[in-house]
Amino acid sequence: MNEVVIASTNQGKIREIESILKDIKIRVKSLKDFPEIPEIEEDGLTFSENALKKAQLVSKLTGKVTIA
DSSP letters spanning 13-66? HHHHHHHHHGGGTEEEEEGGG-TTSPPPP--SSSHHHHHHHHHHHHHHHH-S-E
The residues pairing with 2 across neighbouring beta strands, listed in sequence order, are: 26
Q: What's the number of domains the chain is made of?
A: 1
Q: What band does 54 get if pLDDT is binned at 50, 70 and 90?
A: very high
Q: Are 5 and 66 in contact (CB under 8 A)?
A: yes
Q: For residue 62, what are the domain limits?
A: 2-67
User: pLDDT tens digits for 24-40?
Assistant: 988 999 999 999 999 99
Q: The whole model's pTM is what?
A: 0.86
